[in-house]
Amino acid sequence: MSRTETTAALLLRSVDYGDSDRIVTLLTESRGKVAVMARGARASKKRFAGALEPYALIEAEIALGRGDVGRLAQARVVRAFPGLLGSLEKIGVAAAALEIVRETVAEHDAPDERLVPTVVRFLERLEESTPDAIDGLHLGFALRLLALTGHAPNLEVCGRCGRPAPEGKAALFSPPVGAIVCQACGGGPRKLGGPLRMAMIEAQGRVWDQPDERRTSDGLGAIEAFLEYHLSRRLAGGDLVTQVRAVTRSER
């Protein structure tokens, strides 16, 4: 029998299995992204009390063997983010962000110790964000995560000829190329204004979580198009946020 170990973790997905079990995907501090079976999770209130719900930092006791799916022995909530649960818009953005984590972090990769703290920091900042700052935070997180996972788009030099874009100037972004493309090389369908492009470059580093009015929905749309192309499918999170905003605005 495999030995268990305890690690900080975040829930990325939960799927019911059989009559009482669940298969959960976790982003863990010690093992990266893993899939584990939570036996009796839908019936047991002791081993998993509230810990298999999204938007919380948990302490998970896991055992990983040679198979694709390990075992979750027990879990408990270490930190919740109740400020998210009072806003449908924040719940939607949190779900969209965790979807990006789930789709870009590969299973069995060596764990990056920065990933879990980065997601926790995002949930912290989202919890306290005002409505007009949410898109900028979402974009900043997406760019930082893509940088940490090695999928960051190239926003500084032409992806075809390698010519640097003038600092602070607008550029044309091509989602299929995953880079800006100069006009001499055909350009791209997404125009990134100079201030926006510089803010996106900076967000790939450590300043992603700071408020920045330069980060606009145009940048978020470009990143969503980039992810759609390279993942070969449209992520559900962006549509979810749009639908939630339509509902909340109609109720005002």
Residues 89 and 75 in one domain: no
Residues 210 and 95 in one domain: yes
Q: Which of 28, 58, 80 is the last residue of a domain?
A: 80
Amino acid identity, position 75 = A
pLDDT, mean of residues 140-149: 97
Rounded CA separation 217/121 (Å): 21
Domain count, the chain: 2
Are 8 and 58 in contact by the 8 Å Cβ rule? The answer is: yes
Residues 224 and 162 in one domain: yes
Residues 114 and 229 in one domain: yes
Residues 160 and 233 in one domain: yes
Rounded CA separation 128/229 (Å): 32
CATH number at residue 63: 2.40.50.140
Strand partners, 62: 5, 72
Residues 135 and 239 in one domain: yes
Can you give the pLDDT at residue 45? Answer: 67
Q: Which of 56, 80, 104 is the last residue of a domain?
A: 80
- What ranges make up the beta strands (E) of 157-229? 171-174, 179-180, 190-192
Q: Which of 80, 98, 116 is the last residue of a domain?
A: 80
Are 38 and 48 in contact by the 8 Å Cβ rule? The answer is: yes
CATH number at residue 235: 1.20.1440.120
Give per-residue pLDDT as tens, 205-236: 989 999 999 999 999 999 999 999 999 999 88
Residues 94 and 190 in one domain: yes
Residues 234 and 162 in one domain: yes
In which domain, by residue range, is 21 found?
A: 4-80
Q: What is the pTM of this model?
A: 0.93
Give the closest residue to 112 by CA, choosing from 88, 145, 89, 137: 145
Q: Which is higher by pLDDT, 49 or 132?
A: 132
Residues 74 and 23 in one domain: yes
Residues 143 and 198 in one domain: yes
Residues 34 and 69 in one domain: yes
Residue 80 CB neighbour total at 10 angstroms: 16
Give per-residue pLDDT as tens, 79-111: 999 999 999 999 999 999 999 999 999 987 888
